[in-house]
Amino acid sequence: MKFVPESVRWLLAKRHNEKAKGIIKNAALINGVTLSTTLLEKVDNINVDSDTANGNPTGPEKPTLGLLDSIVQICKNRRLLLRSLNLFYNWAANAFVYYGLSINSTSLGGNKYLNFALVCLVEIPGYTMAWVCMNRMGRRRSLCTSLFLCSVTCVAAAFVPQ
């Protein structure tokens, strides 16, 4: 999906500098901002250490925060708080839909055990497709696509006659 690009920070950490530069140029074009050549040169010159890219930062180790301190830090930063709330909402919505559809499959017409078994079997190609989509499209695009398709099918199911 063209309107949800990958994170520039993630692309730079994975050493996809050209893709990151393309996203920055596209964002500047959409926002009507002219980019300086020095900014684009800085993006080209960003080299992330392999330890840093793998989650092992170099340098002095910082002390870890406790659970309560971490929650306080999240609440202090508005952007981090909004992103966390978005993640919590997505997790809850996905869990309710998944378990609702799985458990409700036994109330469909026919043999309830066969219906539940079919729902379980459908998950195998679903997980495979999710893995392929995440590798090809990235996590954001695959999540947006799957949530959109699920919402369309759930709304369409309301109009199917009993």
Instruction: List, for residues 62-75, the tens digit of each pLDDT value.
Output: 667 788 888 888 89
Instruction: List, for residues 8-38, the tens digit of each pLDDT value.
Output: 888 888 888 889 888 888 888 877 888 888 8
* 2 pLDDT tier (thresholds 50, 70, 90): low
Domain residue ranges of the chain, discontinuous segments joined by +: 1-59, 88-162
Model pLDDT, residue 94: 85
* 48 pLDDT tier (thresholds 50, 70, 90): low
Distance between terminal CA atoms of the chain? 35
Give the tokens for residue 98. 């998944």
What's the angle, vertex CA 56, arms to CA 55 and CA 62, rounded to 5? 110
Cβ neighbour number for residue 21 with a 10 Å cutoff = 20
Cβ neighbour number for residue 144 with a 10 Å cutoff = 15
